[in-house]
Amino acid sequence: MKLRTTAPIVLAAALVLTTAACGGGGGSGQPAGDGKSFEFWSFTGINQKRTVEDYKKINPNVQVKLTEVGTSTETAQSLTTALAGGKVPDLVLIQGDNLPQFVQQPQNFQDLRQYGADKIKGDYLDWVMSQATAKTGEIIGIPTDVGGLAVAYRTDLFKKAGLPTDRDEVSKLWPTWDAFIETGKKYTAATGKAFVDNAGTSVFYQAVNQGPQKYHDPSGNVVYSTSPQVKSAFDYALKAIQAGITAKQSSFEENWIAGMSKGDYAVVSAPSWMLNQIRDYAPGLKGKWDIATIPGGAGNWGGSYLAIPKGAANPKAAWDYISTMQSPQNQLAHFLDVGSLPTTPSVYKDPKLLAEKDEFFSDAPIGKIYTDSVLGLKPFLIGPESAAIGQEFLNAITNVEQGKGDPAKAWDTALANIKTAIGK
């Protein structure tokens, strides 16, 4: 799951580091290795509390100290600091783009093979599991979800614009990103309003995550400056801006949240985890949203992993949580409960998943839409620099969108800033 990588929450991060420093080992205040308690760090915006509550229904005697550190990026930063200081949680949720930097240092984490991860790794999508496996074979994380791609759209606003509202007809409007932009032009011409929330996350981040090569080649070499996929995704974002179809509202910021309910935009690209954001931020729009296929038909943005730091005081208790809550059947149950797309392909043909419809989104068949998106993906490598590279491309696009950057120079500006950020 990929969430809220903007809007820093520095105080929360500082607070959790202070807690860890005072606790010793996992900082839980419980005897080391008691098997009845563990400390868990998560990031905000995904309601991890609900999953913990489900676990405690099965294991009522286990105490789980859950701390939401901040954004996914801040949680990774706090973990880096904690690893350096030797005071770590027992369990941590790491967002997929941040994981490679930790996989490069497997000595900082429990090798989950000692608990049986090698016996269950076949339960998960190969390309997802490979991201959590070090070159020397250590498995440092178990995947919790993936972020299959789709597009959420307002049926009521489409109707006013004279556009189709049926999800199959809407999907046919945009087989490609060029067609998506052309549809946006028609909407904006008919309504005088923006079509899509922004070009950075709803165009660039989607197109660049559609495989088969992103910022790194299969050998791990950095290729962001020469990858045709990256350049075309960047160009699509600029085209959307120049077409005047974006609301210029950056994802998860206050105006984006308010704009959702006000109808400032009619479309938002929606990986599976985004559906909860829309429900939470615009509860009064139940039945006015629907879900269509992403241009290009497939892709993945996001996904997270559970890992156990090397110095964890209660690694066995943490592993029990992982093995229980991330089993295929519990990932399916979690999807049916909150919509997090499973990483376990054995459930993709389960009648319950295929029959799952979302009442909030006009009874859209989310099980089929999102599994089709993931199964149609040509996997790409995520490298240790991916998060930093993606952020600089996003910054350059946003600057143009906000009138602060020159579109003719945006690509070169992004490349220069990336080279400064990662040294390559």
Q: Which residues contact 262 (CB under 8 A, 6 or more apart)?
A: none
Out of 8-17, 20-29, 176-185, least confident range: 8-17
- Please check whether residue 103 is in contact with residue 132, taking contact to mean a CB–CB distance below 8 angstroms: yes
Please determine, for residue 4, whether its predicted confidence score (pLDDT) is greater than 80: no
Give the per-residue pLDDT at 388: 93
CATH 1.10.3720.10 holds for 10-146+302-354: no
Q: Where in the chain is the domain with CATH 3.40.190.10?
A: 10-146+302-354, 148-300+359-422
Give the per-residue pLDDT at 34: 64
Which residues lie across from 308 on neighbouring strands?
none
User: How, if at all, do strands 91-95 and 300-307 pair?
Assistant: antiparallel
Give the per-residue pLDDT at 46: 80
- Please check whether residue 215 is in contact with residue 390, taking contact to mean a CB–CB distance below 8 angstroms: yes
Q: pLDDT tens, 149-208?
A: 999 999 999 999 999 999 999 999 999 999 999 999 999 999 999 999 999 999 999 999
Q: pLDDT tens, 192-231?
A: 999 999 999 999 999 999 988 999 999 999 999 999 999 9
Architecture of the domain made up of 148-300+359-422: 3-Layer(aba) Sandwich (3.40)
Q: How many CA atoms lie within 13 A of 326 on its CB side?
A: 26
Give the per-residue pLDDT at 290: 98
Please determine, for residue 104, whether its predicted confidence score (pLDDT) is greater than 80: yes
Please determine, for residue 31, whether its predicted confidence score (pLDDT) is greater than 50: no
For residue 133, what are the CA distances in angstroms to 125, 160, 351, 370? 13, 50, 31, 25
Q: pLDDT tens, 332-347?
A: 999 998 888 999 999 9
- Burial code (b: 16+ CB inside 10 Å, e: under 16) for 252-280 equals beeebeebbeebbbbbbbbbbbbbbbbbe
Binned at pLDDT 50, 70 and 90, residue 12 comes out as very low
Please determine, for residue 14, whether its predicted confidence score (pLDDT) is greater than 70: no
Give the per-residue pLDDT at 16: 35
Q: pLDDT tens, 107-126?
A: 999 999 999 999 999 999 99
Give the per-residue pLDDT at 44: 87
Across residues 416-422, what is the average pLDDT? 97
Please determine, for residue 8, whether its predicted confidence score (pLDDT) is greater than 50: no
- What is the rounded CA–CA span in Å between residue 327 and residue 320? 11
Give the per-residue pLDDT at 33: 60
Give the per-residue pLDDT at 86: 77
Mean pLDDT of the chain: 91
Binned at pLDDT 50, 70 and 90, residue 30 comes out as very low
Backbone angles phi, psi at 314, to 5 degrees: -130, 60
- Please check whether residue 291 is in contact with residue 361, taking contact to mean a CB–CB distance below 8 angstroms: yes
pTM of the predicted model as reported, rounded to 2 decimal places: 0.88
**Considering the chain, what percentage of its residues have pLDDT values greater than 90?**
85
Across residues 264-285, what is the average pLDDT? 94
